[in-house]
Structure 1
Amino acid sequence: MITPTSASKGHREVKTKNILAWGMGDVFGSGAMTITGLWLLYFYIEVAGLSPAAAASIFAIAKIWDGITDPVMGYITDNIRTRWGRRRIFFLLGAPLSLTFALMWWSGYGYFWYLGTYLLFSTVFTLLMVPYDTLPAEMTTRYDTRSKMSGARMLFAQATAFLSALIPGQILAHVADKEQAFMLIGLVFAILFSLPWIFVWRGTWERDNLPPPQTQQGLMKTLGALYREMASTFRLKTFRIHIMMYVGGAVALDIFGSLFMHYMTYVLQVGAGLASQALSLMTLCQFFAIPIFTWLCIRIGNGHAYKIAISLIILSLLWFSQLSASFTYITWLLLGGAMMMGFARGGTYLIPWNVYNFLPDVDEAYTGVRREGIYAGVMMLTRKFSQALALFIVGLALEGFGFTKGAESQSAAAINGIWWVFVVGPGLLTILAMTGAFRFRLSQDRHAVLITELERLREGGKPEDAPAAAREVVETLTGHRHANHLWENKAHAQPAILQESRQPS
């Protein structure tokens, strides 16, 4: 059992209970992203009465705010020092604030209420999830253990995703007043999202022997250095490829999810009950996909496993694009497509976050310092930006194609528009994701070589003295020559990437 005063007590064995305790945090993380991705745009347009363009603007404005808060939070968690740690302290602060999630789902308020509550939710999400994402790299260096932690995280995430489809569907089916129904939905999930953090707090720990915090003089200089450091992550070849995979797959699925109810209702003309069943089945299959893809990541590697997941998305899109309300067995065909997409979603959501756990190791080989917080900030910003981009695209597309909010039927132009955005938009994004998967080179064997080289460098070794195999791995993963690191200045905790200019290999 972890106490506040023993948050960092040296090297520990990551046991099953620790893996499960950490994984519970994504009940909030992926759960909140899932329910907002599936239902928030629908709520804004069909219940709150916002136009599609107004709803889209909320997501766009929020991303400007996230562009400030996410990297700032990453910087803070890298440099704050408290008796409760630099990461886990925020679980105590953020857990009660997660209850504010319920405010987004109140009806009868104007545009600025919905904008303000969404900004508040985004801030609380950043406060909790940026430090949360850093912990696997803090707790262990083992490839298989981190993969298991990612798998556990996604099991909780997909279980919550299933509830995010099932519970709202059941509430909407039994509560006739949609305004009351969504208020109840918000309250139920706000309570659910606040519960896991005590377990995360007690079952995790942080790295020992932290370097001194970075120091800058003045707010503007600090922010300037922060954004330069944030931008520097994209100098890492593996990270650039990772972002191609992550954004391509995530935005494709976000567009699919945000338009799913509209596609079922207006294009396929099936009832809300059947559409809700398909959505629930899809999220249930996501849950069962997680252990399968976790095994694939360990067995054949993240890149190859991701190719399978993206291929399933493409097949699912083709499947849905060919369905018609006139088909005799439309119910079974629809449920079959939902199962296929569910397995695709499980792998597509799991693998990038599994890869993320190893990025700080690659970065340390290049910079000489540990920057889990910065990478967590960038990843969180990318995730929220990708979902907001998807909802923004969908909102503007509905507006552009003449979608009429609250109408029982839509024009032919609006229905055709929904079809094109639902099928073609995600299809194009999967090409980006697949391209990244074919270029991905971070394997279990290469990671083992990388860890050995990092241990040698930490003990005072010089990059120019690296064995040939280690040099090849570092240069393949970073995209830069393995030389001229400022490891002797590591104690100052200033990233070498900000201190020197280096040529790609």
Structure 2
Amino acid sequence: MTTTTTNKLSVKEKVAYGLGDTGCNFVWQTVMLFLAYFYTDIYGLSPAHMGTMFLLVRFIDAVTDPIMGSIVDRTRSKHGRYRPYLLWIAVPFGVACMLAFFTPDFGATGKLIYAYTSYIFLTLMYTAINVPYCAMANALTNDSSERTSLQSYRFALSTAGGLIVAMVALPLVDIIGQGNTQKGYLGAMAVMGLGAIALFFFSFANTKERYVPTEERQSALQDLKRLMKNSQWRILFIVNVVLLTGVVFKGASTMYYVKVVMGRADLATIFMVSGMLANIVGAMLSSPLFGKYNKPTMYRILTVLSGILAALLYLVDPANVPAVFTLVVLLGVVQMSTTPILWSMMSDVVDYEKTRSNRSLSGMVFSTNLFAIKLGIALGGAGVGWILAWAGYEGGAAVQTPKAINAINLLFTVIPGVFFALLAIFMLFYKLDNHKLAQIKSDLAELELPHDPLSAEPVQPQKDREALV
């Protein structure tokens, strides 16, 4: 395939790309906000079983995510390398969402087996569509600043998908279920799945891959070993695990916090909507406010601020609804403004790897970081389940013990705040700042030129390129 380079993207294409993640977030936010609560209070799993399942399924991801990244990096089709998966996997992904929220009429063992099976299927389909979707950003443009802008559009629209979930999911459960919450959740998730399918089709039809390097094929194991030697990739891998652990502690405990700690189940929808609106604002402000500054520096500042805001929420009286909402909104703006920066840095790591080894491992970089994200989700989900079990939380009970109430409060505030603040420490070791990125862009331009050993300097060896950071 001939490589072409295009720096600027149209607003239409950025929107089309972002709408793909809107569809993905129809499922992602549903899982983040409702699956833990669904399993314990609707489906009937114990918190300990739920937490253990979330963690054990990640062992499957440890294998499937790198395999999917390798498959994507080796895909050749008339539609490109990454886009075809939006077409091929959209329908199975939508179906998987619905099946995960189906409550079969089985005994306790049968329901546990079904929960594992349907959740594994959902995670496999998520991997199959999200790995190529994320990696596709590098094929749309090779400009680092433009990628940050693209990711801002993506996460603003992605959060809009989460906003739709927060606004309509519970009302749909009531409308469809007519008092039968199990039926209501199944119907509501069927609607979300259909919406996701339509948006993935739209994203496929309105994006174009322009920057796809042509390389010799090598084994997936060689590529994975090569990537693991990349110090900057290792840092972002750890950051994603820590980040998502904190995010899930907060997200999975949201319903519990509103219902149990605040005692205001009637505010659940508006509470989540407020957070989502704040996230949209944060994603939209990220590129114009922080795009011209060094990404690692801004990321460190914003994550520390996120940690402080989250921890402060523990000190607020849950009955003081305006104060709770104010802090939740501020945290949503600040935290989401970090997300486009982080995903743009993942694209920068792809470019850095190209200068290290002359291998474009976009699929592998994003698949392994997707595994890191899911590992963080598993650790957070397992932690929520285990802490609730330790605190004596009883699913569906009208009254909870003070120990359980305090545990939920900590899960929503202090615990995620600590994880957010820890990110700044890890990011001290990330060195791909604006100066390094300019050098990498220059190196990539050299690599694309035909190499003449008689008239040009030899290509810098891998070990020296690693030393640059």
Give TM-score, length-normalised by structure 2: 0.89
Question: Is the 2:314–2:414 contact (alpha carbons within 8 Å) kept by the matching residues of 1?
Answer: no
- Alignment partner of 1:102 is 2:102: no
CA contact (8 A) 1:309 1:343 kept: no
Q: Which moved more, 1:194-203 or 1:332-341?
A: 194-203
Residue range with higher mean Cα deviation, 61-70 or 226-235? 226-235
Q: What is aligned with 1:435?
A: 425
**Shift in Å, 1:232:** 3.7
How is 1:54-453 mapped onto 2 (pairs within 5 angstroms)? 54-100=49-95, 101-109=97-105, 110-172=111-173, 175-202=178-205, 203-208=207-212, 210-214=214-218, 226-227=220-221, 229-268=223-262, 270-325=263-318, 327=319, 330-453=320-443
User: Whole-Å Cα distance in 1 between the matches of residues 170 and 452 of structure 2?
Assistant: 59
Q: Is the 8 A contact 2:69 2:365 kept in 1?
A: yes
The CA deviation at 1:229 is 3.1
How far apart in 2 are the matches of 1:424 and 1:322?
10
Q: Are 2:9 and 1:14 aligned?
A: yes
Q: Partner residue of 1:221?
A: none
Q: For residues 94-129 of structure 1, what are the alpha-carbon distances to aligned partners after superposition, in whole Å with 9 as ceiling and x for unaligned? A: 011122111111124411222111111111111111
Task: Report if the CA contact (8 A) 1:27-1:156 is conserved.
Answer: yes
SS of the equivalent of 2:413 reads: helix
Where 2:44 maps in the other structure, the secondary structure is coil
- State the distance in 2 between where 1:414 and 1:372 align: 44
The answer as to whether partners of 1:87 and 1:206 remain within 8 angstroms in 2 is no
Q: Which amino acid aligns with 1:345?
A: Q
Contact persistence 2:48–2:386 (CA under 8 A): yes
Quote how far apart the aligned CAs of 1:448 are: 2.0
Contact kept, 8 Å, 1:251 with 1:386, in 2: the verdict is yes
Cα distance between partner residues in 2 of 1:62 and 1:92: 26
Any conservation in 2 of the 1:253–1:345 contact (CA below 8 Å)? Answer: no
Letter in 2 for 1:200: S
Cα deviation for residue 163 of structure 1 reads 1.4
Q: Paired residue for 2:108?
A: none
CA RMSD of aligned residues (A): 2.6
- In the superposition, relative to structure 1, how do residues 314 and 431 fare at CA in structure 2: closer, same or farther (>3 Å)? closer
State the secondary structure of the residue aligned to 1:403: coil
- After superposition, the Cα gap between the structure-2 partners of 1:227 and 1:395, relative to the gap in structure 1 and judged at 3 Å, is farther
1:455 aligns with 2:459: no
Change over 3 Å in CA distance of 1:104–1:209 after alignment to 2: closer
Decide whether the 8 Å contact of 2:248 with 2:380 is kept in 1.
Answer: yes
- In 1, the alpha carbon distance for the partners of 2:292 and 2:431 equals 15
Superposition deviation, residue 318 in structure 1: 2.6
Q: Which runs of 5+ in 1 are unaligned?
A: 1-6, 215-224, 483-501
1:433 Cα offset (Å):
0.5
Distance 1:396 1:38 in 2: 17
Give 3-state SS (helix, strand or coil) of 1:119's partner.
helix
- Amino acid in structure 2 at the alignment position of 1:161: G
Mapped to 1, the partners of 2:294 and 2:213 lie a distance apart of 31
- Counterparts of 2:235 and 2:404, CA distance in 1: 36
Residues 303, 440 of structure 1: 8 Å contact kept:
yes
Superimposed CA distance per residue, residues 194-225 of structure 1 (whole angstroms, 9 cap, x where no aligned partner): 112222222222535522333xxxxxxxxxx5
Question: 1:504: Cα distance to partner?
Answer: 9.7
CA contact (8 A) 1:162 1:283 kept: yes
Deviations 1:381-425 (A, max 9, x none): 111121121101111111122111111111222223323333342
SS of the equivalent of 1:19 reads helix
Supply the AA of the counterpart residue of 2:254: F
**Partners of 1:430 and 1:333 in 2: CA distance:** 21
Whole-angstrom CA distance in 1 between matches of 2:149 and 2:181: 40
**Aligned: 1:38 with 2:33:** yes
My pick for the range that moved more, 117-126 or 314-323, is: 314-323
Task: Kindly provide the CA deviation profile for residues 305-329 of structure 1, in whole angstroms up to 9, marking residues without a partner as x.
Answer: 323431332232233201224x5xx
Partners in 1 of 2:294 and 2:26 — Cα distance? 26
Cα distance change on mapping 1:95 and 1:405 into 2, 3 Å = same
Structure 1 residues 204 and 413, CA gap change in structure 2 (3 angstroms): same
Contact 1:254/1:390 (<8 A) preserved: yes
Question: SS at the partner of 1:356?
Answer: helix
* CA–CA distance in structure 2, aligned partners of residues 21 and 355 of structure 1: 21
Question: What is the alpha-carbon distance in structure 1 between the residues aligned to residue 378 and residue 122 of structure 2?
Answer: 13
Q: Give the letter for the 1:356 counterpart.
A: M
In structure 2, what is the Cα distance between the partners aligned to 1:161 and 1:8? 38
Give the letter for the 1:481 counterpart. Answer: D
Q: Percent identity?
A: 20
TM-score, normalised with respect to structure 1: 0.83
Q: Which amino acid aligns with 1:234?
A: M
In 1, distance between residues paired with 2:250 and 2:272?
A: 11
Q: Indicate how the Cα distance of structure 1 residues 146 and 378 shifts in structure 2: closer, same or farther if over 3 A, else same.
A: same
Equivalent pairs counted in the alignment come to: 456
Conserved? CA contact 2:148–2:341, under 8 Å: no
* Structure 2 unpaired stretches of 5+: 106-110
SS of 2:394's partner is coil
Aligned residue identity for 1:372? S
CA distance in 2, matches of 1:335, 1:360: 39
